[in-house]
Amino acid sequence: MKIGILSTNKNLYSTRRLVEAGVERGHEMPVINHKRAYMNITSHNPSIHIKGENITGIDAIIPRIGASVSFYGTAVVRQFEMMGVYSVNESVAITRSRDKLRAVQLLSRKGIGLPVTGFANSPDDTEDLLQFVGGAPVVIKLLEGTQGVGVVLAETKKAAESVIEAFSGLKANFMVQEFIKEAGGSDIRCFVVGDKVVASMLRQGKEGEFRSNLHRGGSAKLIKITPEERSTAVRSAKVMGLNVAGVDLLRSNHGPVVMEVNSSPGLEGIETATKKDVAGMIIEFIEKNAKQGKTRTRGKG
């Protein structure tokens, strides 16, 4: 097969591993820089081009879209879908999971465990919002943040009010969440491929840090997850419509709660912590499932 990897940097660990795993299995693995791709949107023969070259003959794509290029990146994924190319994660699923509010709303409809979350527009409603989530301490997060940036722990009511006032003043969209203290600055990354958790790791924030992001100095180790955690992760990926997802859970005293569902989960941390060939499992999934025109979102945007 010819499997395109949408990535802006072919030297990144995840990109390199996917190329390697595909080539090992006899596939052609072009890396397509979605930032440089441009498209001809036409009814009968939509196409994608890079530096004058028409990109053709691609059987499937693996989107690795960074948060800073969500809009353009998902447009390129969608264009491939319009051309009938199978995408392991569809554009609409990527868009859903990128917006933290939209994601928790969709997950809540399916009864998935979540930290109690409030969302409002007017600062006049702050009092009520804080009450919804049980009062301070609370976590306040920007809807489109990533790698722990834009996630704030407000330990007192006063601190929460100031942060909310500041975010509102900047016209930034944010949500307010119950603080899951008992997680102790750790979370569980479940790597889902298809309908299975193929690898999982525990991430622990560095000393004094409530955010477990590896980018914030957290460390990772192998962990055995419970059947409830496993099914929560698989169901969450399914609700988003993602075939490949990194589902982040916290262990709360009311069971596993989902933090977020990542549509381009990194491979380095999880492969290093678990010694598993996760890249190979993604390629195998594509071998079994990729078919021309097999995109559920066709015609529905």
Residues that bind ligand ADP (CB under 6 A): 115, 139, 141, 145-149, 151, 177-180, 183, 187, 210-213, 248, 250, 259-260
Burial of 28 (C-beta count, 10 Å sphere; 0-12/13-18/19+): middle
CA 29 to CA 157: how far, in whole Å?
A: 52
CA 59 to CA 287: how far, in whole Å?
A: 10
Shortest separation between residue 153's beta carbon and ligand ADP, angstroms? 7
Shortest separation between residue 225's beta carbon and ligand ADP, angstroms? 16
Closer CB to ligand ADP, residue 86 or residue 210?
Answer: 210
**301 neighbors 92 (Cβ within 8 angstroms):** yes
Count how many Cα atoms sit within 13 Å of the Cα of residue 7 in the half-sphere of its side chain: 22
Closer CB to ligand ADP, residue 177 or residue 295?
Answer: 177
Shortest separation between residue 170's beta carbon and ligand ADP, angstroms? 17
Burial of 123 (C-beta count, 10 Å sphere; 0-12/13-18/19+): middle
Whose CA is closest to 168, among 235, 135, 119? 119
Closer CB to ligand ADP, residue 64 or residue 211?
Answer: 211
Strands, sheet with 31-32, edge to edge from the N-terminal-most edge strand? 31-32, 3-6, 60-63, 86-87
Closer CB to ligand ADP, residue 61 or residue 245?
Answer: 245
Closer CB to ligand ADP, residue 80 or residue 210?
Answer: 210
Residue 285 three-state SS:
helix
Shortest separation between residue 150's beta carbon and ligand ADP, angstroms? 6
CA 91 to CA 76: how far, in whole Å?
A: 9
CA 254 to CA 163: how far, in whole Å?
A: 27
Closer CB to ligand ADP, residue 197 or residue 249?
Answer: 249
Shortest separation between residue 152's beta carbon and ligand ADP, angstroms? 10
Shortest separation between residue 179's beta carbon and ligand ADP, angstroms? 5
